């Protein structure tokens, strides 16, 4: 079993984004860490056509779910896409490919050479992204987006209370995140099984997979907690990127602290495959909101 692999759950809509990610992996993957991408079985041929030359190893979502005891694949198929993909991402460890995996989203891009030491200690302990999200919450208040603070507190309390943990509200993100199979196994053995639940049931109750992992790590200590800050620079809104570009901050500056950058797909709709979604009016509206800094 490999110590670490890269993993991304994707869909055909994100084909061009994951292709861009794969190209960045080819450019900067110093140790040739294996890169796995999972997609629905019906989309495997499409992704093979576009990614085979980029050294990507494709697996199907269905293969991951079939390896997951207690998972009802039909139930997952009926879940909203945002929840179903959380189940697939969180159950990838069931394939027994690696001890840990860097879980990436399709809108990620590497910006400098990386190797396993960026994500794990020499003893094989994963670095865990954990803080109290003060930067994000302060920015939300400055932008008069109080709903962001309210949602953060509500989501944190929901999963924290499940584990009976009293104390500070933590953020276990943003993505990408290094997840160790021992932590997911401890969640399955010590919480889900006694509750006669599957991970799909857990996600349905509280659809924040990073919090299930993080709180399980704190509760059961399957691996030591080795805290770190965000692995990638995340632009939550397009106006944040615009501000930094105006200030002269570029990827060379960011590479001193981050392995990569996240460009949110919500304001990169021109990368939708095969074409940008929506009619001409909605597309024009997105461009106007993007220009005005509303996205």
Average pLDDT, the chain: 91
* Model pLDDT for residues 45-62, shown as the tens digit of each residue: 999 999 999 999 999 999
Q: By three-state DSSP, how is residue 248 classified?
A: coil
pLDDT beyond 70 at 259: yes
* Model pLDDT for residues 180-192, shown as the tens digit of each residue: 999 999 999 999 9
pLDDT beyond 80 at 274: no
Q: Is 2-126+173-208+230-267 a CATH 3.40.30 domain?
A: no
- Distance, in Å, from the CA atom of 187 to the CA atom of 182, rounded to the nearest integer, reads 9
Is the model's pTM score more than 0.75? Answer: yes
pLDDT beyond 70 at 115: yes
- Distance, in Å, from the CA atom of 108 to the CA atom of 110, rounded to the nearest integer, reads 7
């Amino acid at each position: 079993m490999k110590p670490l692999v890269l993993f991304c759950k994707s869909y055909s809509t994100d084909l061009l984004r994951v292709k861009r990610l794969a190209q960045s992996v080819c450019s900067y993957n110093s140790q040739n860490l294996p890169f796995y991408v999972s997609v629905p079985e019906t989309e495997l041929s499409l992704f093979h056509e576009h990614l085979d030359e980029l050294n990507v190893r494709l697996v199907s979502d269905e293969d991951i779910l079939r390896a997951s005891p207690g998972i009802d694949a039909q139930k997952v198929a009926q879940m909203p896409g945002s929840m179903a993909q959380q189940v697939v991402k969180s159950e990838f460890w069931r394939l027994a490919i690696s001890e840990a995996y860097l879980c990436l989203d399709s809108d990620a891009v590497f910006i400098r050479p990386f190797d396993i030491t960026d994500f794990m200690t020499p003893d094989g302990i994963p670095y865990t992204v954990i803080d109290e999200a003060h930067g994000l919450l302060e920015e939300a208040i400055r932008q008069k987006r109080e709903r962001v603070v309210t949602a953060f507190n509500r989501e944190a309390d929901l999963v924290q209370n499940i584990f009976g943990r009293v104390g500070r509200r933590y953020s276990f993100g943003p993505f990408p995140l290094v997840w160790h199979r021992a932590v997911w196994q401890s969640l399955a053995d010590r919480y889900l099984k006694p509750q006669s639940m599957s991970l799909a049931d857990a996600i349905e109750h509280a659809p924040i997979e990073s919090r299930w992992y993080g709180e399980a790590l704190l509760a059961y200590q399957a691996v030591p907690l080795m805290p770190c800050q965000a692995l990638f620079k995340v632009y939550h809104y397009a106006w944040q990127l615009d501000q930094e570009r105006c200030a002269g901050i570029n990827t060379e500056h960011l590479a001193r602290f981050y392995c990569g950058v996240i460009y949110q797909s919500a304001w990169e709709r021109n990368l939708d495959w095969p074409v940008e979604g929506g009619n001409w009016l909605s597309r024009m509206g997105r461009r106007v909101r993007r220009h005005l800094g509303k996205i």
